[in-house]
Structure 1
């Protein structure tokens, strides 16, 4: 997603500039970050705290909505802690003690973890404001149109559309944090796969009567949502986040990468019909706004991670985990890795290629973990595997610990459903 906004405002208030005021916009900065979601805002905060002149832009005003499950698992907590925002976010979020895994036959196992839920509208607004508090300038609404290039072809800024006018901003580095929609990646010449890894549909339901009755982050597998899952997460203020996610939604059909026949609303309705708490929630509660869908980009695939003068981070780089669909923590983490590479390059007087190599190496270090989640994704295609895991977990505290380790990123999710993992299920 892309934010953009005003110049010459305080760091605690953002006003939107009309197109006529475009001559007041900055002509240059050290770092231009396109996209003010978790990745872009985290990157901007780290760089601004280091004293760099950072401009953060987005195509929507601060506090825009994002289609997401809103779950903050341990990697999100770790990223927020590094940003100095953990206490502030947790003071507003809904704490949760367990992820409840519910199988097709109704079996249930509750996996403990350090968890919370906060709607992305609030989280992203807090992160964007934190970047401004650190000194970043925020511009919105402005849409990324194309990179600017010098005579050698190195990216040296970006062309933005603000209202009906185009505005150019020069920068030492441009960082794309534009999410799953591939338009910006394509404009930058970095998109390798236009189709998403999956899709999700989410809604908010206000249901005070259900508070205390749905306490865990319920994740439900069933044939009706295969190859995906449904969820209900308790959110603050008597609301619940309910949705469905489908993986491999655009896998090649006939070798052409065509979209499968998929009706997310029908899958959502099937989930509600199958899972009694979902039906009760929809019956007793009030849908706030509309059900909204969005694409996912997973497994650090689908885009080149850099080109001279430009780094790609967050979901634009594929920072969402397959299998779980979790992406908030990894978006912030990859955004901070981009910031770290730029800062290291400045401290060591590195050339462009060295900065890019350092950043790409940090992403490659994460890639094996993403690949393990891709391996575990077979659960979504074969939900009976969840029945087996739940059946054994009820008899094996060690297995529950291993499942908790998946949340904490201390256990290998792929091993839970590998041949070796199945043998361990019956030997533990």
Structure 2
């Protein structure tokens, strides 16, 4: 063998090892990066494939509850104010002519504060943390079709186009994690389609230069009014205002497909109408808008199942993990990523393929035990508030009872002590246990 042949052989072996791993994670959002981080920290060889390059924008409210904050702490992210994080104390709720300010509950299980951070920067921090943990990140890696074993039907890798040159590459691993968001082309290619009986939301948002940028409460509007005409008009959905601490506010609204207006209206125009009804000194006017209005789907309550099949695990939005009560997705993306990583690590330690498969099949069961009953309650809640009259009555009467609203905050944000806790915690946990686990 000549020196040239030897060099080619070495390059070929390097290429094969570079594109092989124990696990492939497709998508470097919160779900994918968290999964990759915990897998790498456990000593597994992980490929993290991201179709765009950081920083990159994602449509989001940018507000993080204590549930998501806990996940960041667990990953060792510096969440200090000096590192650019804005803390919030709780939730301000506006509706029915009332305004109620509720602090996050004092719990042993979760911190008593939330955070705000723009998604382009937030996602990159998680991806870099996964890299520091040992994951191999490929940016500008557009994943296409799965590699399927003809005999078993299992996924054993993915085909992709890499870099600006779109170089065809095939990555190989015995396990693949779909963290590629609501569209999740990988799941669809494996025959996993969205369940039509589960709720879906849509969120639209933009940013404004505003004196309200330094607000230390997340603000939720349960009624959206268009006051431009001769008569005030109640708009469907709910709105939010989150101060970003950088001179801007994130202003957006969400709508559920249980609403009769879901397919009828242009939600960008609805957002504009709502902003036009606000006090002028807040600055939510077209000339102060710093970004275009953008929208995104919110896949809720396990709207794609099963969460494991034939070597593929679904995490985050790919598995419909968004909380139907409040539209929160980041906390559940990160939590499901950690759960998936733990299941994979345990499966890898089994001695035979049959034992490994048995461990992997436990992943959907763990998810249902963790969230199934709570999400079932959320589905019932979504159907109820889809009627604007019900929402209006609940807002007008509920906001005048602070104790009831404290209970509602715990329920909507899923912030209770897992065991013990106060009477509110026990009621919410009890309801979640007796609700259908599906």
Q: Answer whether TM exceeds 0.5 for this pair.
A: yes
3-state secondary structure, aligned to 1:261 = coil
| Aligned equivalents of 2:65, 2:309: Cα separation in 1 | 32
Q: Which runs of 5+ in 1 are unaligned?
A: 1-21, 254-258, 419-428
Name the CA shift for 1:249/1:25 in 2 (closer, same or farther; >3 Å): farther
- Measured in 2, the distance between the counterparts of 1:37 and 1:276 equals 35
Does 2:140 match 1:141?
yes
Partner of 1:405: 410
Per-residue CA deviation, residues 260-282 of structure 1 (Å, 9 max, x unaligned), is: 223111211222134437x8331
Separation in 1, partners of 2:313, 2:129: 22
Aligned-residue offset at 1:309: 1.1
Change (3 A) 1:400 1:260: closer
Shift of 1:288: 1.7
Distance verdict in 2 for CA 1:271–1:90, change over 3 Å: farther
The alignment partner of 1:147 has SS state of strand
- The aligned residue for residue 222 of structure 2 is 221
Match of 2:124 in 1: 125
**Aligned position for 1:190:** 192
Matching of residues 198-277 of structure 1 within 5 Å? 198-207=201-210, 209-212=211-214, 214-222=215-223, 224=225, 226-248=235-257, 260-276=263-279
Q: Which residue does the alignment assign to 2:346?
A: 344
CA contact 2:306–2:364 (8 Å) conserved in 1: no
- Over residues 349-400 of structure 1, what are the superposed CA-to-partner deviations in whole Å (9 max), with x where a residue is unaligned? 363431332211111111111222222223354365465456444444x324
* In structure 2, distance between residues paired with 1:189 and 1:302: 10
CA distance in 1 between counterparts of 2:133 and 2:279 reads 46
Identify the residue that residue 107 of structure 2 maps to in structure 1. none
Q: Where do residues 98-117 of structure 1 align in structure 2 (5 Å cutoff)?
A: 98-103=90-95, 105-113=96-104, 114-117=113-116
Q: Distance in 1 between matches of 2:426 and 2:293?
A: 30
- Please say if 1:371 is aligned against 2:370: no
Determine the C-alpha separation between the residues in 1 that align with 2:264 and 2:426.
29
In 2 relative to 1, CA 85–296 (structure 1 residues): closer, same or farther, beyond 3 Å?
Answer: same
The correspondence of residues 11-410 of structure 1 with structure 2, limited to 5 A, is 26-85=18-77, 87=79, 91-103=83-95, 105-113=96-104, 114-150=113-149, 151-162=151-162, 163-193=165-195, 197-207=200-210, 209-212=211-214, 214-222=215-223, 224=225, 226-248=235-257, 260-276=263-279, 280-283=282-285, 286-349=288-351, 351-365=355-369, 366-377=371-382, 378-379=384-385, 381-382=387-388, 385=391, 388-389=394-395, 391-396=397-402, 398-406=403-411, 407-410=413-416
1:84-141 CA deviation, whole Å, 9 max, x = no partner? 22635884221111211111x3311112112221111111010000000001111011
Question: What is the CA–CA distance in structure 2 between the aligned matches of 1:158 and 1:106, rounded to whole Å?
Answer: 54
2:228 corresponds in structure 1 to: none
CA separation in 1, counterparts of 2:23 and 2:154?
Answer: 14
CA distance in 2, matches of 1:75, 1:390: 28
- The C-alpha deviation readout for 1:244-299, integer Å capped at 9, x for no partner, is 11111798x9xxxxx8223111211222134437x833139722221111111111
Distance 1:384 1:141 in 2: 46
**Which entry has the higher C-alpha Rg, 1 or 2?**
2
Q: Distance in 2 between matches of 1:215 and 1:89?
A: 12
Q: Distance in 1 between matches of 2:216 and 2:283?
A: 13
Deviation at 1:331, TM superposition (A): 0.4
Contact persistence 2:182–2:297 (CA under 8 A):
yes
**Structure 1 residues 234 and 98, CA gap change in structure 2 (3 angstroms):** same
> Matched residue of 1:210: which SS?
coil
Quickly say closer, same or farther: Cα 1:414–1:58, change in 2 above 3 A: farther
Deviation track 1:19-43 (CA, whole Å, cap 9, x = no partner) reads xxx9699221111000000000000
**Cα 1:230–1:359, aligned 2, differ >3 Å: closer, same or farther?**
same
Cα distance in 2, alignment partners of residues 395 and 153 from structure 1: 56
Count of residues paired in the alignment: 384
**Over residues 42-82 of structure 1, what are the superposed CA-to-partner deviations in whole Å (9 max), with x where a residue is unaligned?**
00000111111111011111221110111110210222222
